[in-house]
Amino acid sequence: MQEAKPANLPDALIPVISLILMLALSVKLFGSDSSSGPNQIVLTLGAAIAAIVAAKNGHSWASILDAIISGISTAMGAILILMSVGALIGTWLMAGTVPSLIYYGLELMNPQLFYAAACLICCIASLAIGSSWTVAGTLGVALIGVALGLGLSAPIAAGAIVSGAYFGDKMSPLSDTTNLAPAVAGTDLFTHIRHMVWTTTPSIVIALTLFVIVGFGAEPKSDDGALADLTGTLQSVFNITPFALIPLAVVFFMAYKKMPPLPTILFGALLGGVLAIILQPRVVLAYADSPSLPQAIALTKGVWMALYDGYVASSGVAEVDELLSRGGMSSMLNTIWLILTALAFGAVLEHGGMLSRLIESALKSAKSTGTLVMTVVLSCIGINIVAADQYIAIVLPGKMYRAEFARRGLEPKNLSRVIEDAGTLTSPLVPWNTCGAYMAAALGVPTLAYLPYAFFNLINPLVSIIYGFTGFTITRIKDDAVPATR
């Protein structure tokens, strides 16, 4: 069998440019609805174009199909987690977990400090458990509810939640990406974390400062009377009690103990269903709407409905019903569709050698340490866009640039820090990336809506580039005291 030819630069650019043009047309024609089907078609067509290029270079259809299947299979764990989070949101709404968090948040939160507080709370939680997805799917859901209850901006609140959640995803030794980056770059975990402190600390301080400034400039739409009506409605519909927070505490404890994410979140969803029957039987029975069934069967039916189709509130107050009607595994199907098509496109690009060809071309212009760091950052961002997966955005640049960093006498910890600064943090800013799709689905805010307010995620890659050009904390092999040549 004839060996496939390596992809040249035009080969690599054709599917990428085609994708960009089609996505631009999709957004122009469909606007905010583009992620509900049109973008999936674009990604499918992009994968087809990439497959044609790969076939031209001698790759068989069987090998291309295997690559697509392999690429999609890497996300199966994420897809199962995504469905479990949908079930969790449904039962936690029905159990009063989210309503209780919203109620207590409305009682305690200062509207002007809300954005900064939300970011800081998520920073602490994600640092403790190492999972941005768990934090966003639990605390994040409640904090969005608090923001809406206070009359604040959901996109800004989502930006604060994403910023805080990804602080821990980046810095926690329990995080998978924090362990992956040093492994592919050739350094150890705690050296990697200590080196990241230099870029992460100023980035999160700037982000928190911006959230404080934005908060003081905000004008909450809700007055005291409206807040009283909202909290009163929550109390009239649900049994607001600290016991409703048990599922949240259990999920965070299991995550802290390094239990796998899928069984942790699924257990949290089922625990929410059990507590719904115990604490909110009236709510469950009303939702099941099956008076002819025995009560035990009707309660089971109500929880079952929440697991697969979410919870729909019927308080009679439109604002409350809109706030608390969400969740269910079925609510995640559109997001899963987006992830599958995006990963198929990325898999064909990688299999056909088009991704590596783009990186090789970028490396030719990286003459100084500053341009090398900027090239790695841009490569991570580009891979997050075209391959739609943060793990690929960490692993591929780590493999591609590791030898170049060594050739230039740069410590591996420099590379591990850069790929985490860019690969991890920009992943939730791409609508079709697994992380961006997840955050949008869990928080109920489109990715492009919260993107301008994910200050930490936007600032950190820029700080990393600045350090590259100034040489600050860029260390050489066997000489940590001497900064690298700029």
Residue 429's CB is within 10 A of a number of other CB atoms, namely: 23
479 phi and psi angles, rounded to 5 deg = -155, 75
Residue by residue, pLDDT tens for the chain (486 residues) are 467 888 888 988 999 889 888 888 887 888 767 777 888 898 899 999 999 999 999 999 999 999 999 888 877 877 888 788 889 889 999 999 888 888 887 777 788 889 999 999 899 888 867 788 888 888 888 889 888 888 899 999 999 999 999 998 899 877 878 888 888 888 888 889 899 999 999 999 999 999 999 998 877 665 556 667 777 888 888 999 999 999 988 988 887 787 887 888 899 999 999 999 999 999 999 999 999 999 999 999 999 999 999 898 888 777 778 778 888 999 888 878 877 888 888 889 889 988 778 777 777 777 889 999 999 999 899 888 887 778 878 877 887 788 889 888 999 999 999 999 999 999 999 988 889 988 998 898 999 999 999 999 999 999 999 999 999 999 998 754 444 444
DSSP characters for 414-444? HHHHHHIIIIITTGGGSTTSHHHHHHHHHHT
Q: For residues 327 and 93, what is the distance between their CA atoms, to the nearest angstrom?
A: 8
Spell out the domain ranges in the chain: 76-331
* Cα 308 to Cα 83: distance, rounded to the nearest angstrom: 9
> Which residues share a beta bridge with 476?
410, 479
- Rounded to whole angstroms, the Cα distance separating 169 from 197 reads 13
Q: How far apart are CA 49 and CA 44, in angstroms?
A: 9
> Tokens standing for 186?
């050739």
CA 417, CA 420: separation in Å to the nearest integer? 5
- pTM beyond 0.85: the answer is no
Would you say 118 and 164 are in contact if contact means Cβ atoms under 8 Å apart? yes
Q: Round to whole Å and give the CA distance between 340 and 234.
A: 38
HSE-CB at 387 with a 13 A cutoff on CA atoms is 33
